[in-house]
């Protein structure tokens, strides 16, 4: 199993983590946010955290809360990421009521993988599908590699956010869908559609635009089997990423191993400047075909 973290992301730094929180720098601004995986004691004191941070998220429930500003900072700002030997993609960040700021930095590992592999595909322009696509880091990487990109998420606001990121990155012509992922994939099977690249990064829980229910352990097997039917048989790239407490990488391996021999299984993490390694999900990925 591989343990992967971004190797070159100057606009992001995990400074410290512990006591169920993380201290992070996004560009020039430092945030304190809840982190259920950080069960250990932090290396720095809470006083040190408060001196460094611009803002802290105060949860009111497991899903929502508000931000307490400790120093002056804007509600919206930008960060950039340089794809390996490629262009720069840009992200608008925002202090949302759901503790997120608009980017999952550990996913840069997959952005690199997408960009490098799709750039190497020969022949016709590869078709790429980003399911549960959030603010579109994977979509931007695929478009920068020259792919024909379809970006799907069930939340209208984050699709608009992703479109803004495309424009900030000076890219264009991504196809935007506000749709239930399972319904869309089933229709693509009926249509005989094929994709050279697919990433799916589903949440533990969620719902579609028409209140369709999603629960990871109940629906993931069906989703994976359906996605496999719309991958181009001659050559394709697949990434399955999940973030759910207690969800083992062995589950990912068991879901995919009947179809792939050269499967890369691993765990994403972010190294903190203070010396910790914060686990942030498990994945399986593969490039198949000649």
User: What's the pLDDT band for 212 if we cut at 50, 70, 90?
Assistant: confident
Residue 290 has pLDDT above 70, yes or no: no
* CATH no. for 81-90+104-289: 3.40.50.150
* 247, pLDDT greater than 90: no
Would you kindly state where each structural domain of the chain is located, as residue ranges?
2-76, 81-90+104-289
What is the tens place of the pLDDT at every residue in 76-115?
999 999 999 999 999 999 999 999 999 999 999 999 999 9
Q: Calculate the average pLDDT of the chain.
A: 95
Res. 170: pLDDT tops 60:
yes
What's the topology of domain 2-76? Immunoglobulin-like (2.60.40)
pLDDT in tens, 2-33: 999 999 999 999 999 999 999 999 999 999 99
pLDDT value at position 213? 85
pLDDT given at position 208: 83
pLDDT digits (tens, 9 = 90+) for 29-83: 999 999 999 999 999 999 999 999 999 999 998 779 999 999 999 999 999 999 9
Average pLDDT over residues 274-278: 98
- Can you tell me the distance from the alpha carbon of 62 to that of 54, in angstroms, rounded to the nearest whole number? 22
**pLDDT bucket at 245, cuts 50 / 70 / 90:** confident
d(CA 234, CA 136): 26
Whether 81-90+104-289 and 2-76 are alike in CATH topology: the answer is no
Rounded to two decimals, what is the model's pTM?
0.95
């Amino acid at each position: 199993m591989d343990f992967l973290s971004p190797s070159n992301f100057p606009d992001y730094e995990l400074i410290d983590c512990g006591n169920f929180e993380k201290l992070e720098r996004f560009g020039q601004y430092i945030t304190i946010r809840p982190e259920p995986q950080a069960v250990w004691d932090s290396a720095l004191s809470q006083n040190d955290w408060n001196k460094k941070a611009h803002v802290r998220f105060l949860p009111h429930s497991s899903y929502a809360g508000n931000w307490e500003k400790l120093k002056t900072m804007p509600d919206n700002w930008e960060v950039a990421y340089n794809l390996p030997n490629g262009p720069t993609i840009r992200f608008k960040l925002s202090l949302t009521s759901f503790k997120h700021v608009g980017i999952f930095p550990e996913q840069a590992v997959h952005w690199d993988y997408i960009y490098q592999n799709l750039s190497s595909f020969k022949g016709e322009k590869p078709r790429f599908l980003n399911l549960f696509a959030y603010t579109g880091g994977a979509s931007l990487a695929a478009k920068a590699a020259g792919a024909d990109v379809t970006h799907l998420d069930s939340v209208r606001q984050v699709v608009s956010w992703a479109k803004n990121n495309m424009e900030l990155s000076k890219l264009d012509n991504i196809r935007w869908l506000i749709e239930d992922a399972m319904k869309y994939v089933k229709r693509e099977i009926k249509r005989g559609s094929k994709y050279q690249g697919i990433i799916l990064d589903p949440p533990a829980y969620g719902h579609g635009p028409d209140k369709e229910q999603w629960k990871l352990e109940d629906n993931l097997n069906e989703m994976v089997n359906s996605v496999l039917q719309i991958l181009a048989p001659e050559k394709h790239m697949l990434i399955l990423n999940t973030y759910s407490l207690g969800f083992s990488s062995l589950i990912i391996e068991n879901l995919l191993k009947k179809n792939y021999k050269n499967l890369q299984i691993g765990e994403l993490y972010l190294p903190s400047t203070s010396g910790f390694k914060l686990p942030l999900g498990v994945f399986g990925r593969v490039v198949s075909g000649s």
